[in-house]
Amino acid sequence: MKGNIKVGMLNCDLHAVYYAILMEEHNPKILWDHNYGKGGYYYFYQTYNRPYKMSFPKVEGFELVKLWDKNREEAEKMSKIFYGKPTVCKTLEEAIEGVDLVFIADCNGEGEDHLELAKPSIKRGIPTFIDKPFTYDVKGALKLVKLAEKYKTPIMSLSILRELPHVRYFKNRFIEIGNPEFAVIKTGDFFKMAGHIHGISLAQHLFGFGAEAVECMGETPLAFLHIDYGKKEGKPEKGVMVCFASGKMWHCGFCVSVYSGKGTIHSPHFSDYDFPWGCIEIFKKIKKMVETKQPQVPYEEMIECIAIATAGRLSQKEKRKVYLREVWRNVRKR
């Protein structure tokens, strides 16, 4: 397409700021103020003695033109970061009018409102990016995909951990120990779906699509989640343990230990100081989605993340192993 991709941003939370400052000119002095930037400044401006030099390259080809939040004051604050250029919209309908892309941001949510937020743009055929989590449960994810297919509108949902280059570099080290037999993903006390999807997406980035069952235990939601790949070739035979209730974390950090009969490798700390690189990779996929009118990740992969979480909640409740096919079957029965 000719010209920049005009973006309408919904939900003016930290993730909205996080992504937007990569694509649009902004005032770092206002961004630095936590009341406006919500802490995003510290991860994007890391150059010693150069407080107003951004540490990451600007993403070209996008233009932030509209902002909407159910709390209008949040949208007004965010607009000031960008010199007041983005129009603060009164309604959701106004925010998607005349844009090439709708970006639904979500820093700490559960995804329960994503279907309603995405429905207007999908019905108009506007490519829509839905920040993680795609939805709260499988039922909602299937509804979103069905709607997108009905209106022939490309949609996409990705966690930063699914695209972070640092994770890919670590995965390249698997050759040191041969095929992984077991892995542990350690993060901090994430109790909401937004954090859970990061951990599940990290497992998907490292070990791919094709989970078969999950078991979950602990006192908090999805506290300790075991993903079973059913002894599929090339997958960890003993599965992957994702620990969401494992204490404090350093700047939303994740780390991974991978084991085989030949040895062990440990990842560096993946944290907020690295995550902008994942945002940049996601923007590349978004740009291609807008240009080709095709999602750049199979819907099955996006749904699988949600299916793992849905099955995990059921496993925790009923204290048993739950196969992903059960979750799908339960949805179909409704």
Token representation of residue 240 = 């992957």
pLDDT at 334: 45
Q: Which long-range contacts (CB under 8 A, 24 or more apart) does 292-295 make?
A: 292/154, 293/127, 293/152, 293/154, 294/154, 295/154, 295/155, 295/156
User: Domain residues of the chain, as ranges?
Assistant: 5-160+275-297, 161-274+309-318
| Interhelix angle 193-207/299-318, nearest 10 degrees | 120
What share of the chain has pLDDT > 70, as a percent? 98
- pLDDT tens figures, 43-89: 999 988 888 999 999 999 999 999 999 999 999 999 999 999 999 99
* Alpha-carbon distance values, 225 to 116, 216, 242, 329, 334 (Å): 29, 5, 5, 21, 26
**Given strand 155-156, what is the order of strands in its sheet?**
87-88, 62-68, 5-10, 101-104, 128-130, 155-156
What sign does the CA torsion over 171, 174, 180, 182 have? negative
> What confidence tier does 333 reach under pLDDT thresholds 50, 70, 90?
low
SS3 content of the chain, % helix, strand, coil (to 5): 40, 15, 40
Mean pLDDT, residues 122-128 taken together: 98
Element of type H or E holding 42: helix 41-44
Mean pLDDT, residues 33-40 taken together: 92
CATH superfamily of 161-274+309-318: Dihydrodipicolinate Reductase; domain 2 (3.30.360.10)
Mean pLDDT, residues 17-22 taken together: 96
CB 30 within 8 A of CB 81: yes
3-state secondary structure of 5: strand
- pLDDT tens figures, 81-111: 999 999 999 999 999 999 999 999 998 889 9
Residue 89: name the closest of 112, 111, 116, 71 by CA: 71
pLDDT at 216: 97
Mean pLDDT, residues 123-135 taken together: 97
- pLDDT tens figures, 287-331: 999 999 999 999 999 999 999 999 999 999 999 999 999 998 766
- 189: pLDDT strictly greater than 90: no
Mean pLDDT, residues 117-146 taken together: 96
Mean pLDDT, residues 195-216 taken together: 96
pLDDT at 1: 65
Asked if CATH classification 3.40.50.360 holds for the domain at 5-160+275-297, the reply, yes or no, is no
- pLDDT tens figures, 234-275: 999 999 999 999 888 888 899 999 999 999 999 999 999 999
Q: Tell me if domain 5-160+275-297 and domain 161-274+309-318 are identical in fold.
A: no
The mean pLDDT of the chain is 94
